[in-house]
Structure 1
């Protein structure tokens, strides 16, 4: 089943709507767990329904084992540099490393990272590449998509800057090897450490705290 341009535009609009809901449910109402759970369920159901219509859509999107090693090794230097920088920052500014909350976040955050990367790289960047009336170069798609991803992380300026440049690197890996699993893993692992030890945010407490 061929994906039409109309469906691609609808998918992009749905991703943007998901981003807008983040401001309402997470930033304003502080319903973090509700938002994340609802987004994961909604998009997981959508992925399943599209798969039932088109058995090749998962491969097209990047839910594949092919090229896992190549993409993993390509992004490994980025991850190592980020972790080294995070550890240095944490030691220099006396971050609290012995916090057990980082363990469940480190384990479960990659699942949320996979959903986020699916929305951004597969449904936004991937669709922009395929829509016939869009006349953007690959670098233009990378720039626009990374700006969208940074916008979702407003109002944290450090997080916006980090996610912008991270997504540029992730997009390069995705367009070359089309593997979402690797992006989700690195997203979850690096972001967990960054938020805990650089930005001082306890994601485990944030998830269960309302108001």
Structure 2
């Protein structure tokens, strides 16, 4: 009975519940995401304005999200900001998450990079917010729009691959982050095209990302961003 209910929720979540946006709007949204990604190399990697970049990105895209919502009350649901299928999508993501965590610990142990301090606690609370924004941009606006553009049709595997490449390249120059985000985006792209829920993807992304930094990448984002202000 539970399995049947889960399948019903997944099937319902994959329906297009809003008035379709034009191809022009979808392409412009993808271009805006690409511009945001390129801006990361300027403001984060070159100028080292990481916190400012994150805050401006969240505010700017939140404003766009509200703009679209005023024009179409169903657009948030179509993008995946929904709770009706939360548990169903979580069940799909949970096995991947558990395997990922075990892999992080194993790699960190082998490398000697296990460095889990109290600094991870604030990130486990705040990073899911940034993770949700990233999933909205890369999975909803890139993969979702590519899947619905009518002027040209791409296969779902190609859409997932394009999205994964874009998401991983943004994390250059860290090879571990490129590899980790590429695998994550491959899985997330598959899940999203099957059942849309940005909340699940964003929260899990935030938790996995925070743990990944302190086990595999051997970086302390909390210290890098906040300790200079304390």
The answer on 1:161 being equivalent to 2:189 is no
2:219 matched residue in structure 1: 201
| Pick aligned residue for 1:32 from 46, 50, 68 | 50
How far apart, in 2, do the equivalents of 1:190 and 1:87 lie?
Answer: 11
CA drift of 1:175 comes to 1.2
CA drift of 1:143 comes to 0.7
Residue ranges of structure 2 left out of the alignment (5+ in a row): 1-18
The answer on 1:141 being equivalent to 2:147 is no
2:76 matched residue in structure 1: 58
How far apart, in 2, do the equivalents of 1:134 and 1:97 lie?
Answer: 47
CA drift of 1:165 comes to 1.2
The answer on 1:103 being equivalent to 2:127 is no
Cα RMSD for the two superposed structures = 1.5
With over 3 angstroms needed to count, the CA separation of the structure-2 counterparts of 1:96 and 1:84, relative to structure 1, is closer
1:180 matched residue in structure 2: 198
Q: CA offsets, 1:130-176, max 9 Å, x none?
A: 11122210111011111111111111122111111111111111111
Partner of 2:43, secondary structure, is helix
The answer on 1:129 being equivalent to 2:147 is yes
8 A contact 2:97–2:204 mirrored in 1: yes
Larger relative contact order (C-alpha < 8 A, sep ≥ 6)?
Answer: 1
| More displaced 10-residue stretch of structure 1: 169-178 or 15-24 | 169-178
1:74 matched residue in structure 2: 92
Residue ranges of structure 1 left out of the alignment (5+ in a row): none
How far apart, in 2, do the equivalents of 1:167 and 1:149 lie?
Answer: 7
CA drift of 1:96 comes to 5.0
Number of aligned residue pairs: give it: 210
Q: Given the two structures, how large is their TM-score scaled by the length of structure 2?
A: 0.87
The answer on 1:23 being equivalent to 2:12 is no
Q: Given the two structures, how large is their TM-score scaled by the length of structure 1?
A: 0.94
